[in-house]
Structure 1
Amino acid sequence: MKQVIAFVAALVLYVNSYAQQLDKRDIQRTIEVTGSTEIQVVPDEIYFDISLKEYMKSREKIEIAILEKQLLQAVEAAGISKDNLTIDNVFGFGRNWVGSKKNPVEFLSSRNYKLKLQNLDKIDQILNAIDALGIEKASIASVNSTKMAMYRRQAKVQATKVAMEKATEMLAVIGAKLGQVITVTEVDEPNFLSSYKNTYSNSIMNNFMENENNSTDLNVKSIKVTAKVKATFAVL
């Protein structure tokens, strides 16, 4: 009986030892790497903010309706659908809030508009067609690409290839070869739409309007699409 117990105990120790050796061997036969990539995308959707403000001219108020009509006509004259122009916000201001509501002449309002463009080729034409004193500010709010989903997929594929190439190069140094992939995990990274903080004030817009030869020759800032993956491969 003692011999049987001793045999079983020895067998258990052997199995445990063998299992530990297998675990260690499995760990030694894998390599884990990361791969990342960045794609520069030219935007084909530009969201342009235009803020119009009522103002006094020789005791006469230039109303927001007049300025809005100028903006709408300028957008349509540039060959852009009026559906691309929306009101983003509305404000009101006056020297005396209570008194201003009693006296409409002293109460001035402003509206923020958002214009969707494919490029900036027509923006000079549009702004030049609006009363310069009625433009409070104008700026690029954000940019986007209609093919963003495709670019994100491409970035993930490239990041996976980078991880595979990195693992292959690392193993070659120690004379090992890359085996089959075990896992590939996407590492979440923020992909924000490019935003702009450049705002042109009323005084700058006045100078802009005075120059009829203004043109936009520079490209809009590109969008950075990034991807990162973590991959585990077997080592041969």
Structure 2
Amino acid sequence: MKKILTLLVLLTAVVSTQAQNSLMENSRRVSTRGYAEKEVTPDIIYLSISLKEYYQDGNSKKKVSIETLEKQLFDAAMKNGVRKDDFTIQNIYSYNAETKKKNNELLQSRQYRIKVTNLNNLNTMMDEVDPKGLQSTSISGYDHSQKRQIEKELKTSAVKDARTNAEILANADGGSVGKALMINDNSNVNWNEIMPQPRMYSMAKTANAEMDAAGEGLDLNIRPIKLTCNIDAVFELK
């Protein structure tokens, strides 16, 4: 009995599809394309921060541990509104502080990924971390808190644009446009692919001195990006 019901469902689907295709083939129709674009400024950034252990004043007995540096960064991030789940360790490395010395202790370096939604106090957050323990900082990605809503608005505008274009063509032939027979979404709004190339900021001691002298910090001049949406549509031609 179940097999018979399954077969009936499949036959119904096939007949329905054939009927739709027949309607498309036999009806007068107009094909067109819709386009929409929108400039958006990201309000979320992903930071990639590397911390490294070091010896105070070159004294191998006075090591600033990676745990100490990590706590500084973690506390500063939490104070800036970062959620605990958005503070993650990406990689762990080891390195030699003095490669010429024998039996030299390996020092540890860790790379963190932090999702930041409050960009106002970001430089202040970085100031709370020991600059000698900061190896590098980079903006590795961007996002937007209203991403889904923005994509919805783009697709809606693109469909309306397709209908407008179809009406222009139909009016030129003395006709009018009816319902949409087919809408094909060709857009692929991938935020990771359309974002600007992430920049790397060296936070080594010497680089810090030069940046401070120049009055510079972590560059957060986040520019608007252009999102686009393309759809193909077929409308009934009356």
User: TM-score category by the smaller chain?
Assistant: 0.7 to 0.9
Aligned to 1:124: 123
Structure 1 residues 235 and 76, CA, compared in 2 at 3 Å: closer, same or farther? closer
SS at match of 1:37: strand
Q: Does 1:231 align with 2:233?
A: yes
8 Å contact kept, 2:80–2:118: no
Aligned to 2:185: 186
What displacement does 1:124 show? Answer: 0.8
Structure 1 residues 215 and 234, CA, compared in 2 at 3 Å: closer, same or farther? same
Aligned to 1:58: 58
Aligned to 1:69: 71
Structure 1 residues 114 and 168, CA, compared in 2 at 3 Å: closer, same or farther? same
8 Å contact kept, 2:81–2:118: no
Aligned to 1:207: 210
Report how many aligned residue pairs link the two structures.
208
Q: Distance in 1 between matches of 2:196 and 2:219?
A: 20
Gap runs ≥5 in structure 2:
1-22
Between the aligned residues of both structures, percent identity stands at 29
Query: How big is the alpha-carbon RMSD for the aligned residues of Structure 1 and Structure 2?
Result: 3.2
Q: Distance in 1 between matches of 2:223 and 2:135?
A: 24
Q: What TM-score does the superposition give when structure 1 sets the normalisation length? A: 0.73
What displacement does 1:183 show? Answer: 1.3
Aligned to 1:150: 149
8 Å contact kept, 1:87–1:112: yes
Kindly provide the CA deviation profile for residues 164-188 of structure 1, in whole angstroms up to 9, marking residues without a partner as x.
Answer: 1111122333333223321112124
What displacement does 1:49 show? Answer: 1.4
Kindly provide the CA deviation profile for residues 96-126 of structure 1, in whole angstroms up to 9, marking residues without a partner as x.
Answer: 99x98xx4x5312111112221132111111
Kindly provide the CA deviation profile for residues 198-235 of structure 1, in whole angstroms up to 9, marking residues without a partner as x.
Answer: 00012444434x36976789652345443221111122
Gap runs ≥5 in structure 1:
1-22
Structure 1 residues 145 and 35, CA, compared in 2 at 3 Å: closer, same or farther? same
Structure with bigger gyration radius: 1
TM alignment of 1:213-224, pairs within 5 A: 219-224=221-226
TM alignment of 1:85-164, pairs within 5 A: 85-94=87-96, 103=103, 105-164=104-163
Whichever residue aligns with residue 199 of structure 1, its letter is M
8 Å contact kept, 1:191–1:225: no
Whichever residue aligns with residue 49 of structure 2, its letter is I
